[in-house]
Amino acid sequence: MNRQQSARKNDAEIRGVPRRGGGEARAPTVVPFDFRRLDLIPNSQLGAIRLLYENFARNFAASLSAYLRTYLAVTLVSVEQLSYAQFLEGRASPTCLACLGLQPYEGIAILELDPNMTFPILEFLLGGKGKNSGALRRKITEIERNLIDGLLCIVLRDLKEAWEAITTINFTVESFETDPLLLQVPDPGKAYVATGIEVRIGEAAGMLNLAIPSLLIKMMRSNFSHHASGRKSRSTEADQARILSLVRLSSLELDVRLRGPTLRLDDLLRLECGDVLPFDFPVRKPLDGLVNGNLKFCGQVVSVGNKRAFLVEDSPAGAIQPV
CA distance 283 to 134: 89
What are the tens digits of pLDDT across the range 139-171?
888 888 888 999 999 999 999 999 988 888 999
DSSP single-letter state for residue 265: H
Q: Where are the alpha helices (DSSP H) in the chain?
A: 2-15, 43-68, 84-88, 115-125, 142-163, 214-219, 221-247, 265-269
Written as one letter, the residue type at 213 is P
Q: What is the mean pLDDT of the chain?
A: 78
Angle at 12 between CA 10 and CA 18, to 5 degrees: 135
Collapsed DSSP state (helix, strand, coil) of residue 109: strand
Domains in the chain, CATH or no CATH each: 43-219 (3.40.1550.10), 251-261+279-323 (2.30.330.10)
Whole-Å CA distances, 322 to 246, 297, 319: 15, 11, 9
What are the tens digits of pLDDT across the range 254-288?
888 877 778 888 888 888 898 888 877 777 788 88
252: which residues sit within 8 A by CB, 6+ positions away?
Answer: 291, 292
CA distance 45 to 58: 20
Which pLDDT score, from 0 to 100, does residue 195 have? 93
CA distance 252 to 290: 10
Give residue 4's pLDDT band: very low, low, confident or very high (50, 70, 90).
low
In the chain, % of residues over pLDDT 90: 14
Give residue 24's pLDDT band: very low, low, confident or very high (50, 70, 90).
low
Q: Which residues of 87-123 are buried (b: 16+ CB within 10 A; e: fewer)?
A: bbeebbebbbbbbbbbeebebbbbbbbbbbbbbbbbb
Asked if residue 206 lies in contact with residue 198, where contact means CB atoms within 8 angstroms, the answer is yes
Which pLDDT score, from 0 to 100, does residue 124 have? 83
Which pLDDT score, from 0 to 100, does residue 132 have? 52
Number of CB atoms found within 10 A of residue 206's CB = 24
What are the tens digits of pLDDT across the range 184-217?
666 666 788 899 999 998 788 889 999 998 888 8
Q: Where are the alpha helices (DSSP H) in 164-220?
A: 214-219
